[in-house]
Structure 1
C-alpha cells in the first residue's frame, strides 16, 4: 500500500484520519460501485470506488463492513464524480476497521492505479517484455547485416547498459551471470546494476548462436533462393507444384503444409529452431513452410503470423494469409494465427486509419466531447451495451444502473450522432468507431 502512495505519477493523497496500516500488501485492484462487493473479493484487494452507492452513513457502514469481512487491503476513493470529498462516515468506518483510505483526484483514473499495481506485481515479467521489444529489432538487424557475435553482443550491451562476454567452451571467464550457448561457448554478463533475467539472457544466447551459424554462406544463399521462389509462388508467377522440382525438401510429399511469416532477418534463428522446416529469406520478411501447425513459436520472442493447413496447391494463398497475420502480430506484439484472422478486429486492423476515421469522428468524438464537458458516460455506456450484445438488462447490470437509465443514455446517443444503438447496422458502425478510437489512443500512447 505504501508503494502506491509513494508513486509520484499517481498523486494519491492520504487523509490524516486514515493514514495508518500502509504496510498492507495489495493483491490486486478491484473497481466497484456496489454497496457490498464482498462476494467478488478474495482478500488483499485495493477497492476503488467513486461512491455512487454511498449516499448515507448506513451505506458507508455496509461498504466498510463488507470490505473488512473480505479482508480487503484498503479503499481508493475517487472524488469529483459522486462526491467532492470522501464521506466522513466512510472515513470513520474505515478507521474503525483499520482500513487505509487513499484519495484519487479527478485527474487520476482508476486504470492508472490498476496498471501500477499490475506492473508492481509483475515487474520482472514486464521488464523482460520491454527489454525484449527493444532488443529483438536491433538483433534482427545485426543478423541481416551479418554482424559478428561480438558486434551483436555490443549492440545488446548498449541497449541494456552492461557488457557481455563470450568465451569458447572450456575457457569461460568469470562473470556474474552466464549461460551456455550450445556449439559456441559460454555467454556471460557483467555490469553494475541488476543482472538480466534468465529469459533475456537465453534470448541473446539464441541470437549469438544464430550469428555463428550465419558464417555458413551456403546456408544463407539457400535461404535466399527459397525466399525468392516462395515470393514468386505468392505472386502467382510460379506454380506451387514446381517447388518440389526446384527444392529438395521432403515435406512436399506430405500433401498439406502451413506457412508462417516472421520479421526479416530471422532465417538463421528459424533454421536452428525448426530444422525440418523449409525456411526462406525474402527482402521484407522471412517465410517458413512446415508440415504441421506450430504451437511453440512464442518461445522465440518474435512476432509471427501463421496460416491454416492447406494443400500444397494453395501454398501461395497461405503465404498471403501469413503475411497479413504477421502485419497484425507486429502491431500487437504477439503471435497471430488463422483463427484470429477471422475476427472483426483483425479485419479492421488491416484497414488504414484514414478509412476508419469517419466512424470515429462522426460517432465517437461527439460522445467523448460531451463526456468531457459534462462528466457524462456515453462512451462507456455504448461500449458496455455493445459488449452485452445489445442487451439492455445486461448492460444495466454491468454498469449498476436501472434499465431506464441505460435506455435514456442510448436515446441521447441517437440525438448526438443521428445513429441508433438499437439498430444492428448502426451497432456495427459504432463498433468500428470504438475500434478506431482505441487504435488512435494506442498510437498516441506509443508516441
Structure 2
C-alpha cells in the first residue's frame, strides 16, 4: 500500500508543480509513500501515522518563528513522515535555509513546489492509486487468511499454517516468541534463505536464547517495515487478549511486494493468535495480569479487582501506581518497561488498549513516596530511542484505587496536550520530545480545575486575576505570563527562573517589575500569591 516517492514526484499531477527535491544526504526516490495529505496546521504530527507525503501551502510557515519551524520539521521527522512538500512563491518566496538544514539533520526529505497546483487534485490522483492497490492487497490477504484458518481447523502445525502465508507473499516467514525463540517458519518454493537469516535462526535456537526465553526477558516492537541486509523485513506483533504471544517476521526479497506482505501479516494476526493458543498457551500469571488490567480499564467493582490481584502478583492492599503511555511503538516501550521493572523485581501488569499502553506497577508498603520518586527517575532513564509520553498516576492505596490512578494519569496527558496547543497558539515552541515522563501529581491543580470547575468559571477567575497581564502579552507580543508561571513554579526564586528562561538577571528583574505593576504589586507575603499562582496554572486550560 505504498508508492515510491520518486514515482509520485514524476506523476503528472505533481510534476506540474515543478518539484525540487531537497534530499537529506541519501537516495530517497525509493522511499515508500503510504498516503498524501494536505494541512497548514503546524502541530499536525500527532495526527499522522507515518509514511505520508504532507503538502503544505506555506501560509502558516511564513508567519511562524524559526523555533516553531524547526519544531515542525523535527516532529514530522520523528513521526516518520515520508516527505514534506512546501509551495513557494507569494507569502513564502523560498523555504528558509535554516528549515532545510534542520530537515537534513533529522533525515526528512523536503520538496519545494515552485509552481501552484491544486492540492485536492494531487491527493485524488495519488491516493486513488494507493486505494486501488490496497483493495488488491486486502483481497489476496483475505484469501490467505481463509486458507490458514482451514489449515488450523484441520489441526495443522505452525509450519504448515505459515506455509500458506509464505506462498501468498513470496517471502520467508517466521513466528517467534516475544523473546526471539523460533516457534515456526516457512519459505516459498524456490526460495533460498538469506545467510544472515540462517545465522540469526541459529543464534535464536542456541541454548543461551532458550535460557533467555525461560527467564522471560521481553523485547517487543509494533508492526513495522525496515531494511535488513538488502531485503525488507515486516514484523507484526501477535497479542491475544492483551498478552503478547509472539512476533511474525516476513522477510520480503527484492522484487516482491512489501505492501502485500504487510497487509497479509496484519490480517493473519487473529489466526496466528489462535494457533499460538493451541500450541503454546500463555501462563496463568500473564493471563491473570491481562484480566486484572481489563478490569482496571473498565472500572470493575472493588471486589473483582481484589479477587484478580493476587493471581497477577499484586496483594490486594499493596500500594501501586498506574501509568498511561502514548508511544509511537508501544510494544517496544512495553518491553523496555517490563525489562526495567523485572530487573528490580517490581510487580507489574501491562495491557495494550488500541494506541494506549496501560501499566500497573506495585510499590512496597514502606517508604512508598521515595520508591515512587525513584520509579519516575528510572523511567526517565529508560534505555533506547523512544518517542513516547509516560504519565504516572498518583499513589493508589490498593488495587481498588487503580482506576482512579489511571484516570489521573490520563488527565495529566490531557493537560500536557492543552498546554502544547496554547504554546502553539502563541507561536512558541513546546519542549519535551523523545521520551517524556510526567508526574500526575505535578498537575493536580489543573486536574482538580478540569473536574470541579466548568470552563466559564475557570476563564472568569483567570481574567479577574491576570487581565492586565494577558492584554499586555497580546498587545506587545510579550511573554510575561510565561515568566510569571516559571517564577511562581520555582517558589519565587528569581535566579532559578532566569536560568530556566535563559535571561540575564537584570532582564528578569525588569520583567518581574512590569508584572508586579500589572498585577497590583509584589504578591510575596500577601494572600494574593496563591490566587495568582492558581490563575497562572489555569491560564493554559481552555
TM range (shorter): 0.3 to 0.5
TM (normalized to structure 1)?
A: 0.43
TM (normalized to structure 2)?
A: 0.37
